[in-house]
A and B are shown apart, each in its own frame.
Chain A
């Protein structure tokens, strides 16, 4: 049972990786990375039960709590870049 779930998760990870590598747009890749993080949480949880070490689920908890920070950083990166470009263009016209 756990083996089947693990295999399915691994296949999904491979598909997400394919999207991240092929793109084509940046947003495909951001989404793929986010999804890959979610799948890692699932994989770690399943393997923790597969090995009979459910206390190791702390690791999945760590990912679940802080994995999205990277995506927020991407949002902030694009936002500040857009603001800066606007400011630079404004300064150039003056």
Chain B
């Protein structure tokens, strides 16, 4: 039955993707991208990948639509007519697609117990998590400890991406800004329903973000998801009260500090492990009991991930908003 549901959702995803490509109105494309994100999250969930689904939910539902609309405010709403040769690109794409489809013939069947994913390292992770780290969520154990190097790399990639976007968009801060027309930067707080809903929900969203952050060892969640949820709460505040007000609450310098500080915290935990006599990112030496040390290390690096993701997402949001005011 799961397969039927999965095929149904994937069919809807395919329809959405085709519609996104075909529409010339970019605003419609942004709306459909929201649906595509929801469909992908539902599909991940169907495949029992709750951590990934939560990441897609946190980013797709809150942040990505806001960022896409921020981009749209800087450009026009209509897609320009393509000038390149259509036949050539179509041929290249179909050739690549055929190669990929041909490659899938060699793959093991969906859910097959003989697949390399089930036989290679996964059994070892499932076995040893209890012994080495003793937390219920194996995903967090793999992400934070067994594969800590990869996650450190991911955090640095997020940080670098944020720096890249800031380089592209920031320009001269404050320079060339024309005085905003009266009433343009008040946000939605003058409207009753957004104001009431927002004020009621922002504390709960922040609370939920903290829950996701610190509950990652027991259920789906962790730094990436929590960072996106907390950023969504602040973005909601910015939409309600105006973006300037949100910058007064958390200034740009603090956001940059968060972005860099999270990555430094992660790396610092690794260096601390070295100083205490272990390997880089070996948390076992952080406490007297190796299992306790592992748990402490995972908690610390997840905090670092959360700080970086929040800082980078909000920096990007403010960069777009500031650019919109200058234009």
CB pair B73 A77 closer than 8 Å: yes
Is the CB–CB distance between A83 and B181 below 8 Å?
yes
Contact of A17 (CB < 8 Å), options: B16, B58, B184? B16
Find out whether the CB atom of B205 lies under 8 angstroms from the CB atom of A66.
Answer: yes
A79-B188 in contact given A59-B53, A62-B208, A70-B62 (Cβ < 8 Å): yes
A44 in complex: contacting residue of B45, B201, B229, CB < 8 Å: B45
Please give me the residue from chain A that is nearest to B50 by CB atom.
A56
Name the segment of B35-43, B88-96, B148-156, B163-171 touching the other chain. B35-43
> Of B45, B232, B324, which contacts A59 at CB under 8 A?
B45
Interface of A: prevailing SS: helix
| A20 with B69, Cβ < 8 A, contacts A3-B1, A56-B220, A62-B229 known | no
Is A8's beta carbon under 8 Å from chain B?
Answer: no
Decide yes or no whether A87 CB sits under 8 A from chain B.
yes
User: In which size bucket is the chain B interface?
Assistant: 35 or more
Which of A14, A65, A77: most chain B CB closer than 10 A? Answer: A65
15 A–B contacts from the bound complex (CB under 8 Å): A29-B31, A33-B32, A36-B38, A37-B38, A40-B38, A47-B46, A53-B48, A58-B215, A62-B229, A65-B229, A69-B66, A73-B66, A74-B69, A76-B69, A79-B188
Nearest 7 Cβ contacts at the A-B interface: A70-B65, A87-B181, A66-B62, A73-B66, A83-B184, A21-B19, A40-B38
Q: Which residues of A contact B (CB under 8 A)?
A: 3, 6, 10, 13-14, 17, 20-21, 23, 26, 29-30, 32-33, 36-37, 40, 43-44, 47, 51, 53, 55-56, 58-59, 61-63, 65-70, 72-77, 79-81, 83-84, 86-87
